[in-house]
Structure 1
Amino acid sequence: MSLPTDAMELPEGEISKHYGAAADMLTGVDHTPRIAKGKEAPGPERSSGIGTRRRFRSTTPGLVTRSTARPEGVRLVDRIEGADGDDPLTSPLQATALHALRRALAIGLALGETFAEATGLAELKKSNLAGSLPQTRAAEFAELLAAEALVTMAGFANATAFLIAPHQGETAVEIGGVEEILTDNAPLALHGCLWELDQDLAAFATTDDTTIATIAAYAEQLMEKLAIRAGSAPRLEGFAAASYRIEADDLTINGFTPARRGKGQTLTMSFKKPNEVVGNHIAKYQAMKLAKMLMAYDFDRKLNPFAEMGGFIFTFMGDGAPGTGKTTLIQMMAGLINDYAQNAGYPFRYQNFSIDQIDSYQGKSGQNAKSFVTNVLDPNVIGFGTIDDIDQIAGKRGDKQSSAGQQEVTAVFMEAFAGANTVVRGNCTFGMFSNYPENVDDALRQRAGARFLVDGPQTREDYIDILALLMGKNHDIPLGDHELYAAQQIKKAVAASFEGHARPHEAGLLAVWDRVEAEIGALDTIAKLGTYLKAIQAADERFTGRAINNITDAVKVRAMDFELPDEWMENPELFLFKPYVAKLAMIRDMTQPITVEMVVQEINRYADSEFRYADKSDEVAIENAVRDMRRMEEAKKRYLGGK
């Protein structure tokens, strides 16, 4: 992949010259912790009473606030080499970890030095060393030192996470938050980082696998904490907006944004072919289109042409009765993306967020949800994330029956899918599936840009096809007068399905349609369409501006109502490997004009789903209220009868 045009190369010589200092830090440094406390268990008391006496408290002004912790020797080389017990030889993974840490420290120091030269901090350091630093620039000097410390730590954390990622297995370690973040100067900042990493290794690293997992977990936590600190720290605007490229490691550091190595996964799920999905014509068609849309993602530009043109399906909701084929649709879409990605040599990552990731421990459910979202959003992979049975996973706000964990998950998904910091690159998509979408929080449900009605087989032909499919071939029963799978031809079935939305299906929406059409006639102008939308909003106050945005996105998808040729997927040179600008031009040539019929159909499709959800939700609430009233009435009868 070519070097992004806005990335500055960090020369290898600038990194390697810091190897000596980095190796010395790993061999041993002394550090007195200021913020964090050691995680190692204290040793036993030598005699009773000594450990319980009140310690001396100085009354000298200033001394009372000074840390009384003793300097501790941090020897990461010894710590890592001793993690596997009594083995006197250094294992390959231990050597890999030490080399990665040395490289990461050198990268951090090189970034800090580059920052100092670019901001004038290097000259201020010389003046300060010579005792000629003007008093008027003392505050600037302190701010730049703190900024350099944050930059150096960010480079170290980013490089560590990136370099250690390929060696991380399935082992996971929960180390908690990172606390020892010091900003006095860059060397002290790194000493604090190494001290806290040493504490974590002492507490959690007992094997090579847990050593790697602990280092990776620490780097992730450090990056997260640094990004928060950098948000309010001065003099970091230039670094935050810059990109630095380390060619030898294929690493690009974009400010305080975590750099991730594209790492796919081997899927073991049972894939389905499109012809094995019976019925669900629109859902199947859109899933097949979306699978190919994802493959148009440009790894150099970190952007998908479809996302730039509008209409990329970042989130979608698949709803339908139990047994109508939602899981089959997931298997089909994941299988298509997996095959396309393997053929192109792209890393593909599929993850499902399930109910077992809701934890009773406060905050853990939100962390699990955030980790799920972050993994799928990784701009270095093609991602597909699914949330099956989302009505059980994400709780409605204000619902007393929803657990704290479910509420946390709802908040994380709402922020991730359409929050202030949401960036749609077009490398991934999230699918939410539910048998009871009316139980999903309204705001979260409306963050689903597309709606897939998974209604299963509908026609006589559908039922013949699904019976023949599921029966398999181990029988001699004749097929009869039927053309197998002819009804599943995508283009023919989809055209009929879209035309079916020329008028609404739900009774409540149909009443609105009839009234508006009687008042203003056919909906053939923007003004008339807007009048119809306002009438829908008057009937259902949950039909807000976000709904209009989702409808227009769906219309843009219809404008690109074409399927990328299979040849482009089979031979990546024809499309996938072309430059971004060329791919964008090829897609634009295939687009078609937006028509009134498209807009009307998409308004009705989306509004039908909202009315369907609202009607179900209201009906469930009414049934529950009636059931409660009957219980109270029966309880009253029994109570009075017992007197």
Structure 2
Amino acid sequence: MSAKGTSSIPITHAELRGFFKDASNFIQNVSYAPKKDLAAARADRNPERKTEGFSLSAFTEGIPEARSISVIALARTISNDDVLLTERVSTALNIVRTGIQIGMHVGALYAKSSGLERLKEQRGQETSDADAAARGAMASTQAAITVFCASSYITWKLSQFKQDEELDGVPVDFIGLPEPLALSGSVRALTCVVYHWASYLKSVHTDLGFIKITQLFFKAVVDDLVVQAQTLKHAEVFTENTYHLEKTDFVVRGFEAQPSSSAVVEFKRVYEKDIVGNHEMKRMLHRLSQMILAYDFQRKMNPMLEFGAFPWLGVLQGSAGTGKSMGLSYLQTLVHDHCKALGLPFQLRPIPNAIVQSLQGASANVYEEWWRSTFNPNFICVAPVDDSEAVYLDRRSQSSSEGSKLVVMSHLRLSEGSTAENTGSVLQVHATNNADMIDPPVFSRYQFRIRVPGAETRNDYCDQLKITGDGLNKKTGSSLINLEFPPDYVFLSDQGLMSKEERERKVEAFTGFKDKGLQQIWEEVEHKKLSPNSYDLYGTFFAKLHKQFEQFTSRDVRNVTTNMTSRLFGFDFPSEWLSNRDEFVAQDYDTKKAMILEAALTYQKGLTVEQVLFQEMTNYVESTIAMLDSGRKYRIRKMADDTLERLEAQQLAQRELSAKESGMHDSAKEIVHA
């Protein structure tokens, strides 16, 4: 993550009220003298509207003339109502006014913290050239901050409109900013921005057009200032802080483009009963959905993370159609519902589509912008990554583009680099069909790895069919599907968090690894007769494992211990913790930490740390090797299939050739006899 701290400066609505009147005045009327207006800018871009030797832009050359324009008057015209505005136009105007209030407030904070306020008070007095230069530079920076914060909020808030498909079909003639922004002072900068925005509104005739032009215009302002930010002086007071608007997830982090709030999306709700099989996946996601609730918004830390029991980054691996995406939706549903019941702020931030960009450097920027949006310390966040092999493609692969490599490098630095930060408020679960295609360092950072086989038993498939049949009957309001269910099995009784086999298995029972290579290594270790309660057992096994599989490293050992600790703290939260915020989440950090520790010790019920460590070690190693080996087995299978196809093709060709030769021989006989 960024080197900036996780603490933020709050922006309260009470503070914004002090700027309400001034912000309203900008909406009411502005007077500005542009060096180049919108008409001139359009003419410069359209050669057909120029005459030889001059362009319409010449009309504004020399001393520009001030012109007045009223946004509210244009809004009434577009609404076709002198009294009331349409709902969309009214909403957009309120958003713009709030944005201006935010910009003016943050600009005022900058003036006070940077010393600009003091320098302005000294104006007229004898001051040094250095003070005058500093005052001018700070005034420009304050203007940029004011306009940037205002435009960022407007862009962010307008992205929440859900008529995106309607907006796509609205024709607007947007050519960008007509002229460079006037950054000599905050008021002049805001006047410049509102004037040119209003100039665009003159050509708008519908409320959807009003919204679309407003979105495009203020996004262009943000983009322009992001580029200019490097040239601004005395900006550290602003860029080294984070500003958070209370009761929202709007955050300003220096001159960084605000992630679109549309990343907070609606999602398909999936419940435990909807997922057939995949018990290990359901158990882990169920556990994580409760652990993240321990995050303390005051301390900005999760005691589960402090205990080393919060594996926040992991992967689900399985063939296509086995239920990985359902697992992601299941996690989203659980965390969303828990947060809603407890009054905790929640955000869902799936990775953006087409994260790998063709423009050099853009991929890393988009990825890091998404990453920062997930680590907003004021929210509990689920950040799923589906088809992760397409995002984190092995850099050694010929298919790996420059953009893909940059995404991988950003991920490695942000997840576990020297500047990485983690407060325990984020769950980032990846899903993949091909774990072996993922860049090895990325894969090594997965703290948990879960195989997702899907339905496996007769009972699983019966449950799956009945779920589908019952759903169809419900939709049609009839008994369209009326098949008999097996009398020796109760519907969905195998679909809990543990399978029947797991429930019946004894804790200490270990029959061996499924993988032959792993089993051979284990048998070599067993021959040494090492105590199961000794470090020697694990040290010997891990050393032999690393010798056989170089991908297995010290990080994997850390992941094993994290999973072990997670199991030790993996108790089901008491129902009152999940329904009454005063019982747990409203407690202070130290109280929550003590409550968790007490519950974890009670949860053990005779299960020893050694037993848990052994179970988690075998599960982790088995899953890891199976995932890494899946690609090799797939390629071997494909080569075998290709070989069989070639043999079948050769046999078919031989038969057809023999038949053809036989036919030619018979024809020759007929000719001879004739």
| Residue aligning to 1:291 | 289
1:386 maps to amino acid: P
In 2, are the aligned partners of 1:279 and 1:456 still within 8 Å (CA)? yes
2:126 counterpart (110, 129, 132): 132
Instruction: Provide the C-alpha distance between the structure 1 equivalents of 2:462 and 2:287, rounded to a whole number of angstroms.
Output: 26
Instruction: Provide the C-alpha distance between the structure 2 equivalents of 1:446 and 1:177, rounded to a whole number of angstroms.
Output: 45
| Residue aligning to 1:64 | none
1:28 counterpart (16, 20, 31): 31
2:577 counterpart (540, 561, 568): 568
CA-CA distance at 1:340 after TM superposition: 3.0
Is residue 304 of structure 2 the alignment partner of residue 306 of structure 1?
yes
1:442 maps to amino acid: P
1:152 maps to amino acid: T
- The 3-state SS of whatever aligns with 1:386 is coil
CA-CA distance at 1:285 after TM superposition: 0.8
- The 3-state SS of whatever aligns with 2:428 is strand
Is residue 593 of structure 2 the alignment partner of residue 584 of structure 1?
yes
Q: Map 1:185-264 onto structure 2 (within 5 A).
A: 185-191=185-191, 193-194=193-194, 207-212=206-211, 215-216=214-215, 235-240=234-239, 242=241, 256=254
- The 3-state SS of whatever aligns with 1:430 is strand
In 2, are the aligned partners of 1:260 and 1:378 still within 8 Å (CA)? no
Gaps of 5+ in 1: 56-66, 639-643
Q: Percent identity?
A: 21
In 2, are the aligned partners of 1:354 and 1:388 still within 8 Å (CA)? no
Is residue 110 of structure 2 the alignment partner of residue 115 of structure 1?
yes
- The 3-state SS of whatever aligns with 1:388 is coil
Instruction: Provide the C-alpha distance between the structure 1 equivalents of 2:145 and 2:525, rounded to a whole number of angstroms.
Output: 60
Provide closer, same or farther for how the CA distance between residues 224 and 554 of structure 1 changes in structure 2, counting only shifts above 3 A.
farther
CA-CA distance at 1:560 after TM superposition: 0.9
TM-score between the two structures when normalised by the length of structure 2:
0.71
Instruction: Provide the C-alpha distance between the structure 1 equivalents of 2:68 and 2:536, rounded to a whole number of angstroms.
Output: 71
1:608 maps to amino acid: E
Q: Map 1:538-577 onto structure 2 (within 5 A).
A: 538-577=547-586
Q: Map 1:472-483 onto structure 2 (within 5 A).
A: 472=470, 475=482, 477=484, 479-482=486-489
- Structure 1 window deviating more from structure 2 (327-336 vs 519-528): it is 519-528
- Structure 1 window deviating more from structure 2 (298-307 vs 609-618): it is 298-307
Instruction: Provide the C-alpha distance between the structure 1 equivalents of 2:252 and 2:357, rounded to a whole number of angstroms.
Output: 33
| Residue aligning to 2:324 | 326
Spell out, residue by residue over 1:349-400, the C-alpha distance to the aligned partner (whole angstroms, 9 max, x if none): 5465697887878888778766765665555554434333333565433433
| Residue aligning to 2:142 | 148
RMSD: 5.3
In 2, are the aligned partners of 1:39 and 1:200 still within 8 Å (CA)? no
CA-CA distance at 1:119 after TM superposition: 3.2
In 2, are the aligned partners of 1:508 and 1:611 still within 8 Å (CA)? no
Spell out, residue by residue over 1:88-116, the C-alpha distance to the aligned partner (whole angstroms, 9 max, x if none): 67434334433433343243233323332
Spell out, residue by residue over 1:539-562, the C-alpha distance to the aligned partner (whole angstroms, 9 max, x if none): 333334543443333233112121
In 2, are the aligned partners of 1:316 and 1:449 still within 8 Å (CA)? yes
Is residue 619 of structure 2 the alignment partner of residue 605 of structure 1?
yes
Instruction: Provide the C-alpha distance between the structure 2 equivalents of 1:200 and 1:303, rounded to a whole number of angstroms.
Output: 46
Q: Map 1:488-637 onto structure 2 (within 5 A).
A: 488-490=495-497, 496=505, 504-516=513-525, 518=527, 521-522=530-531, 524-526=533-535, 529-530=538-539, 532-592=541-601, 595-621=609-635
2:431 counterpart (426, 430, 433): 433
| Residue aligning to 2:661 | none
1:29 maps to amino acid: Y
In 1, are the aligned partners of 2:239 and 2:253 still within 8 Å (CA)? yes
| Residue aligning to 1:269 | 268
Provide closer, same or farther for how the CA distance between residues 192 and 586 of structure 1 changes in structure 2, counting only shifts above 3 A.
farther
Instruction: Provide the C-alpha distance between the structure 2 equivalents of 1:530 and 1:232, rounded to a whole number of angstroms.
Output: 55
Gaps of 5+ in 2: 1-5, 471-478, 654-674
In 1, are the aligned partners of 2:31 and 2:67 still within 8 Å (CA)? yes
Instruction: Provide the C-alpha distance between the structure 2 equivalents of 1:500 and 1:74, rounded to a whole number of angstroms.
Output: 83
1:123 maps to amino acid: R
Instruction: Provide the C-alpha distance between the structure 2 equivalents of 1:287 and 1:160, rounded to a whole number of angstroms.
Output: 36
In 2, are the aligned partners of 1:29 and 1:73 still within 8 Å (CA)? yes
CA-CA distance at 1:120 after TM superposition: 2.5
| Residue aligning to 2:88 | 93
In 1, are the aligned partners of 2:436 and 2:630 still within 8 Å (CA)? yes
CA-CA distance at 1:563 after TM superposition: 1.4
Instruction: Provide the C-alpha distance between the structure 2 equivalents of 1:151 and 1:550, rounded to a whole number of angstroms.
Output: 43
In 2, are the aligned partners of 1:319 and 1:452 still within 8 Å (CA)? yes
Instruction: Provide the C-alpha distance between the structure 2 equivalents of 1:588 and 1:416, rounded to a whole number of angstroms.
Output: 30
In 2, are the aligned partners of 1:395 and 1:402 still within 8 Å (CA)? yes
Instruction: Provide the C-alpha distance between the structure 1 equivalents of 2:585 and 2:355, rounded to a whole number of angstroms.
Output: 36
Q: Map 1:341-352 onto structure 2 (within 5 A).
A: 341-346=339-344, 348-350=346-348
Spell out, residue by residue over 1:134-191, the C-alpha distance to the aligned partner (whole angstroms, 9 max, x if none): 2454565455445434443444245435665666643577989999567654345445
Instruction: Provide the C-alpha distance between the structure 2 equivalents of 1:460 and 1:137, rounded to a whole number of angstroms.
Output: 82
In 2, are the aligned partners of 1:74 and 1:194 still within 8 Å (CA)? no
CA-CA distance at 1:286 after TM superposition: 1.0
Provide closer, same or farther for how the CA distance between residues 192 and 329 of structure 1 changes in structure 2, counting only shifts above 3 A.
same
Instruction: Provide the C-alpha distance between the structure 2 equivalents of 1:93 and 1:434, rounded to a whole number of angstroms.
Output: 41
Provide closer, same or farther for how the CA distance between residues 320 and 245 of structure 1 changes in structure 2, counting only shifts above 3 A.
closer
Instruction: Provide the C-alpha distance between the structure 2 equivalents of 1:191 and 1:415, rounded to a whole number of angstroms.
Output: 41
Instruction: Provide the C-alpha distance between the structure 1 equivalents of 2:638 and 2:73, rounded to a whole number of angstroms.
Output: 61
2:453 maps to amino acid: D
- The 3-state SS of whatever aligns with 2:33 is strand
Provide closer, same or farther for how the CA distance between residues 162 and 323 of structure 1 changes in structure 2, counting only shifts above 3 A.
closer
Spell out, residue by residue over 1:435-494, the C-alpha distance to the aligned partner (whole angstroms, 9 max, x if none): 322223333333433212112344566556556656659647364334555544536766
1:558 maps to amino acid: R
